[in-house]
Amino acid sequence: MMRGTAPVSVEDVSEVLCLRLHKAYKYKLKPTPDQERQLEEIVWQCRRLYNTALEQRITLWKQRSISLSRYEQEAELKYLRAEMPDYAAIHSHVLQDVLARLEKTYRAFFRRVQAGQTPGFPRFHGPNRFNSFTYKEFGNGARFDNGFLVLSKIGRVAVRWSRPNGPWEGTPKTVTLAREADGWYVCISCADVSMQPLASTGCETGMDLGLESFATLADGTMIHNPRCYRRAERRLKTAQRKVSRRKKGSNRRKKAVKLLARAHQQVKRQRQDFHHKETLKLVRQSDTIYHEDLQTANMVKNRSLAKSISDAGWSQFLRILACKAAYAGKRVVAVPPAYTSQICSGCGVLVAKGLSVRWHACPDCGASLHRDHNAARNIERAGQALRGEVA
């Protein structure tokens, strides 16, 4: 995972090389049963604090029209820790991060209100909707010693190291422990990560994302759509049916829920693995990659295509592509998507066609090629024009 980059135009390679990257490294933990119970207890207490702090904000606003800030609530933590031993057993930075998350949700709520979007007021979290906690300063409450993760008031937790070139690069900043369907993971967020530029190929390409094929490049290459969710749909349906048939609160239902979560996790990882492999191929082949600036949040409103669009995971793919490109010193440029499929890439004439028409045939210049191939060529040309205007 990498943060701090976005699919935007970059004018010069030297500017790309000057980017200061943030990167996160994720590893599987191997806690003992007692340590796992302690981790579960911390998550439970953090969720309880989050819900209490949210209720406090809501109550004070309704009764007195007082808006509490994160720092005002943080000032109360020392009294909370003095009165409640459960919270005294948790590192103070972990509790402070919980209140920081609540502040972040409020800011996102007001940002959406100001932008005229559907706001979505901050909600209370149930037992299955709060699955992580963070030590906001590496070395203070969380550190590594001789291959073990040493956590304050928990002890030494074994880690399954999976990177041959060292556990991380750059300067570690925060440590997050997350509970997933198959166990616990640690995520180390690092700053000032040095880049690893790849050799220049002198090639540029446009890319049209689709559903028939996952992506089509300007040279006509088509990337197969794996359809991970569609292929697993029957298995997921069976697992969901088992959950529905179990009595609520029973141990058999809990086991069925875990199996369902593992099934969904497998689909998620298959899709993510596909995205990582294909983006790496693209970054190795081209110095500049142009793609449409897709608004997938609006596209999934189409009931006929919503499941297929979500299954493709275009947003995640573009995010990973932008991160890998920045890390390798390459460019990713987003261009406006208007009329990329309608305009003829040969002569520029507008050839109107519905979504069901998969072949582009120009009556003026006689160009005949696949609709997505035509769009990829238009995207490449539009990206080159955009960069020329910037220069």
Tell me which residues are annotated as active site.
208, 292, 372
CA–CA distance, 391 with 386 (Å, rounded to integer): 9
CA–CA distance, 386 with 388 (Å, rounded to integer): 5
* CA 363, 364, 369, 372 torsion-angle sign: negative
Q: 362 with 345: CB under 8 angstroms?
A: no
Return the structure tokens found at 122: 């901050």
Return the structure tokens found at 171: 């300067």
227 residue type, one letter: R
Strand 288-292 versus strand 331-335 pairing type: parallel
**77-84 LR contacts (CB < 8 Å, sep 24+):** none
Strand partners, 334: 291
CA–CA distance, 16 with 32 (Å, rounded to integer): 44
Task: Give the C-alpha distances (Å, rounded to integers) separating 21 from 55, 207, 279, 320.
Answer: 37, 25, 18, 14
CA–CA distance, 379 with 216 (Å, rounded to integer): 11
Helix and strand counts by DSSP (H, E) for the chain: 12, 15
